[in-house]
A and B are shown apart, each in its own frame.
Chain A
Amino acid sequence: MKSPSTAITKLLKLIIADEIFDEVHGDLTELYFDRAENIGQKKAQWHYFIDVLSSVRNLRLRRKLKYYNPTVMYKNYFKITFRNLLKHKGYSFINIFGLALGMSACMLILLFVNNELSFDGFHEKKANIYRLDEVQSFGAVSDQKVALSMYPMGPNLMADYPEIIDFTRFWSMGRTLIKYNDQAHYTEKMVRVDTSFLKMFDFKLLEGNRYAVFDEPNNIILSESLAKRIFGNENPIGELIKMADNEDNQLKVVGIFSDVPDNSHLQFEALLSTKLWDSENRRNGWGSNYLNTYLQLANNADPAALEAKFDDFLVKYMDEEALDYYSLFLQPLNDVHLGSMDITHDYNNHKKFARSSVNIFSLLAFFVLLIASINFMNLSTARATTRSREVGVRKSIGAFKQQITVQFIMESVVFSVIALLIAFGLCYAALNPLNAIIDRDLSISLFFQLEYLILILVVVLAIGLLSGLYPALVMAGFNPVLALKGGVTKSGKSYFRNALVVFQYALAIAIIIGTVLATEQLNFMQRMDLGFDKEQVVAISMYGDTNTKYELLQTELRNQSEIIDVTATSQRLGNNLHQTSMQYRADTALIDGSSSFVSVDDNFIDFYKIEVVQGRALDKSFAEDLAGRSFLVNETLAKELASSGSEVLGMPFHFGGADTLGTVVGIVKDFSYNKLNLKVEPLFMSKQPWGWDEVNIRLKGDKLQEGLQQIEAVWTSLFPQRPFEYEFLDKHFDTMYQSEQQLTKIISVLSGLAIVIASLGLFGLASFTVKQRLKEMGIRKVLGASVGQIVMILSKKFTMLVFMAFVVAAPITYYLMNDWLAGYANKISIGLGIFLLVGIGSWLIALLTVSFQSYRVARSNPVETLRIE
């Protein structure tokens, strides 16, 4: 008898769930045969068709598995997972460790980025606090943003604009000697602020009244650690201390605040009221910029609208011309730490950092994690083939496709959780060295805050899930019959895996090229000829009391055998020099401008071996030079002066509103007194009789220690009240590049990790590919292939992959790095050499990785390899 139509049966198969298809189909077939006997085949066929169609109502019918106990299966999955893990120790190690490396790098960066973003976050009113900054534009100098404002600005702004609720100034005193019971102590950061300071900012006050600490002008509050240094275990409240520079001022300690946290851009050890320095002169001191002003706006105030009114404000208090030189803008408090890279004269910005660097870090961390995840996925997929038998057995016993998928996804999740645990360990081990490199105080405890723990777990589970998905689907798709026969080891279909290898290698190559270029740029800047000689120069700070004996100090020091010369300056080279207003006469007109200025001793040019282009250096045989009426200008300023059409040498010139005009006596070659990523700006120098901020002493090269001892002996004999402290100028220059150095160090580590992880992946992948071709290699060897030939054959494919990765990565990196270098005034050019070097280097690493595997195979006895199966 004819069976029911197969086409209709196929339709039934579409309708009815797999697990009950057999029984339903059987029922329908039985009915069909019954009917065929009774009413004929044709009608039976028709009824069969109707039955199938009406079965649509059972489209969603499933049999609940009565005796299905998933926990048993999950237990089994776990067991198999760990057995596999232990069975292939090498593979498991590579897989898990690679992922753990990527994770820990990512987590450390997370810590760092979190720390950067947390700056100034502890002030409750942070959303309403703004720093008042200026844009200065003087003469030929390009506009520059400065973190400076004028003494009278704060009070007058608050008086004029109701949307400003409060203001405070932050006026640093720099290094100050304070005395208590004739014991002298230096404090690095003594700061004058307005009474409102502690109302605006939430620095923690341990003792004293937040709102009343500055009621008396001579009140002072100290940090916990400074108080401990001065008073030991005594109670400091109510004690009187003196400032060494001004013995008349008795300061009364009225409060103690806990040490300023590291993630505050404002740092201070002692706070005083501005009242003690207040005077009619200062209150009208428009035009002098020397402090920071912070404004607190009303909740509903619009900062942009307020900024628009600042021009009128300047005109009101200064004059129309003020707008030619100044404009004011507001910088949100949360932008000060990360958004001030283009702002100069930013003296009170602790550990200032570039937001772009934070972004680079985050991006790199993401990429490293991505590379690690790809590895993980690649290795798992490659491994899949070796477990086809297991899948075959599971399927024939009755595992559904979905169960196989769940099993393998679960395995990869378990692996990633193990990797996470290892990553925690790695983080813990790496944190202290990292803190030392980047000069931060990061703590791993952040990870155990609930929100971060959840974030980490979610990311880790997502990694496990996503990287497990592809291999899981591949495995679940195995045909059980083929799988059991061991015939699923198709090696041809690995485009996806190859694409992933290319992708991760391209990322690694790009990161490495970027790192090499960034490091080169940094080294280039540090080695560049600055235009003056900074070697073997010792800098010692000067104070009011030491300045009175400067001449004596200089003579005494010059008499020492290991000292070449001694000079003095009002500012240290390498710092961003202060700007001042200047006037010069061209024809008959008096022209206003502004320029950096430093007061120097008459032998300064000679001391630093700065080249004089025209005219002469300062000379103590000229009376005007000693009186501060002779000026040296650098080439940049000379260009600006010359643009007036008059001869620069001999040009009448003065500054800061002095009464008598001096003259320009010399032009010196531009020298880089600034950081080298900035252009050299206009500068003039003269010798002013105000006393010095520091002396510079050049030692003979060979006996530095002896030279230092000689300086110390002279210093302590002259100034027994002052502890001897010094810094080498070249070290000072190094610290200027500290943030760049930290940046390149971290990036170097990250890029190292990237290539290590990528290689780990390649290693794992290579070992599987090689294993798959064991037989082929055995046959080749029997037929006479040499070891070298076999290694070649096996390595060829990976060479291609790395080459493709290079082709993808090189142009993109070139483009990006060109963009980055554009931000530097003095920059290296990107050569082809670096690209070739990195390209060949990564190829060699890949080759080495692969060869290790292929060499082992090539050396092995073909009898062993051919005997398999």
Chain B
Amino acid sequence: MKIKKRMRGTNLGELEELVLLAVAALNDNAYAVTVKSEIEEKADRTLNISAVHTSLYRLEDKGFLESEVGGATNTRGGKSKRLFKVTAYGFKVLREAQELKQSFWKVIPQLSAEK
């Protein structure tokens, strides 16, 4: 039940936001393995593939991502992959998160002074 509760609303978790951004960045080649390596590379942290799975499917559930089944390759043991794409709604939410952060940045004095 806990999972369902967290699914409500448009709130993005930190990892979810990263995953969403990674999918957007990967552009047409976003599936669990590439998303994982993208985040590991950019954020310099290790991630377990299962955590990526959780986030991807949950984001799809929320309507931020859409997916289709892509081609199978030999390196995958002949299994197909699920390719994800950010939906318009997903982009909107990403932008809103960005704006939210921006609005905070604008009013934080020290940082504006540093500029």
A positions within 8 Å CB-CB of B: 3-4, 20, 22-31, 33-34, 50-51, 54-58, 60-64, 66
The A interface is mostly helix, strand or loop, or mixed, namely helix
A55 in contact with B53 given A23-B69, A25-B79 (CB within 8 Å): yes
Assembly CA distance A60 to B1 (angstroms): 11
Measured CB to CB, the closest approach of chain A to B29, in angstroms, equals: 13
Measured CB to CB, the nearest residue on chain B to A61 is: B57
Whether the pair A58, B50 counts as a contact (CB closer than 8 A) is yes
A51 and B69 in contact (CB under 8 A), knowing A29-B76, A60-B3, A61-B57? no
Q: Are the C-beta atoms of B50 and A23 separated by less than 8 Å?
A: no
Q: Can you give 26 A-B contacts (C-beta < 8 A)?
A: A20-B82, A22-B79, A23-B31, A23-B79, A26-B76, A28-B49, A29-B75, A29-B77, A30-B76, A31-B33, A51-B50, A54-B49, A55-B49, A55-B50, A55-B53, A57-B54, A58-B50, A58-B54, A58-B57, A60-B3, A61-B57, A63-B57, A63-B60, A64-B60, A64-B61, A66-B66
Render B55-78 as a binary contact track against A, CB cut-off 8 A, 1 for contact.
001001100001001001101110
Nearest CB of A to B6, in Å? 13
For residue A25, which residues in chain B have a CB less than 8 angstroms away from its CB? 77, 79
> Taking the nearest CB of chain B, how far is it from the CB of A584, in angstroms?
88
User: Main secondary structure on chain B at its contact with chain A?
Assistant: helix
B39 interface residue (CB < 8 Å to A): no
Known contacts A57-B50, A63-B60; is-contact A30 B33 (Cβ 8 Å): yes
Residues of A within 8 A of B79 (CB): 22-23, 25-26, 29
Most chain B Cβ neighbours within 10 Å, of A3, A27, A55: A27
Instruction: Say yes or no: A27 contacts B81, CB within 8 Å.
Output: yes
Closest to B37 in A: A34
Q: Which residues of B contact A61 (CB under 8 A)?
A: 53-54, 57
Bound CA–CA A66/B32 (angstroms): 19
Interface centre among A26, A57, A58 (most CB of B within 10 A): A26
Does A54 lie within 8 Å of B77, measured CB to CB? no
Most chain A beta-carbon neighbours within 10 Å: one of B31, B73, B77, B81: B77
A35 to B82 CA separation, bound complex (whole angstroms): 21
B27 within 8 A of partner (CB): no
Question: Is the pair B32, A27 in contact by a Cβ cutoff of 8 Å?
Answer: yes
CA distance A63 to B48 in the complex (A): 20
Nearest residue (CB) in A for B79 is: A26
B40-56 toward A: CB 8 Å interface, digit per residue (1/0)? 00000000111101100
Chain A residue at smallest Cβ distance from B74: A33
Name the distance in Å between B35's Cβ and chain A's nearest Cβ: 10
Among B31, B51, B69, which residue has its beta carbon within 8 angstroms of that of A27?
A: B31
Q: Which residues of B contact A54 (CB under 8 A)?
A: 48-51
Sort A-B residue pairs by CB-CB distance and give the 8 closest, nearest first: A26-B79, A26-B76, A29-B77, A27-B32, A23-B82, A55-B50, A54-B50, A30-B76
Inter-chain contact A24/B33, CB cutoff 8 Å? no
Total contacting residues, chain B, CB less than 8 A: 25
Whole-angstrom distance between the Cβ of B42 and the nearest chain A Cβ: 18
Q: Which residues of B are in contact with A by a Cβ distance under 8 Å?
A: 3, 31-33, 36, 48-51, 53-54, 57, 60-61, 66, 69, 72-73, 75-77, 79-82
A57-B3 Cα distance, complex, nearest whole Å: 11
Instruction: Report Cα–Cα, A31/B79, bound state, in Å.
Output: 13
Chain A residue at minimal CB-CB distance from B72: A26
Complex Cα distance, B33 from A33, in Å, reads 12
Decide if A51 touches B48 in the complex (CB within 8 Å): yes
Alpha-carbon distance A113/B53, docked complex (angstroms): 62
CB of A52 to closest CB in B, whole Å: 9
Q: Please, which residue of chain B has its CB at the minimum distance from the CB of A29? A: B77
Q: How far is the CA of A851 from the CA of B21 in the complex (A)?
A: 75
**Whole-angstrom distance between the Cβ of B78 and the nearest chain A Cβ:** 8
Residues of B near A26 (CB, < 8 A) are: 72, 76-77, 79-81
Cα–Cα, bound, A789→B76 (Å): 62
Q: Complex: how many Å from CA A351 to CA B35? A: 84
Complexed CA–CA distance, A25 and B49 (Å)? 11
Name A62's closest neighbour in chain B (CB-CB).
Answer: B57
Q: Contact check: which of B36, B50, B66, B75 meets A33 at CB < 8 Å?
A: B75
- Which chain B residues border A28 with CB–CB below 8 Å? 49
A62 to B54, CA, bound (A): 10
Cα separation A132 to B91 with both chains bound (whole Å): 86
**A33–B78 CA distance with the chains assembled, in angstroms:** 13
The answer to whether A22 and B80 touch across the interface, beta carbons within 8 angstroms, is yes
For B48, the chain A residues whose CB sits under 8 A away are 50-51, 54
Most buried by B among A30, A33, A60: A30
Beyond A31-B49, A51-B50, A61-B57: 7 further Cβ-contacts under 8 Å?
A: A3-B77, A20-B82, A26-B72, A27-B53, A27-B76, A51-B48, A64-B60
| B40: min CB distance to chain A, Å | 12
- Chain A residue contacts of B3, Cβ below 8 A: 60
CB distance from A180 to the nearest CB of B (A): 81
Report the minimum CB–CB distance from B55 to chain A (whole Å). 10
Residues from chain B with a CB closer than 8 A to the CB of A55 are: 49-50, 53
Evaluate whether A30 and B50 lie within 8 angstroms (CB atoms) in the complex, with A23-B81, A23-B82, A60-B3 already known.
no
Min Cβ gap B95→A in Å is 24
C-alpha gap A66/B63 in the complex (Å): 10
| Complex Cα gap A181–B50 (Å) | 104
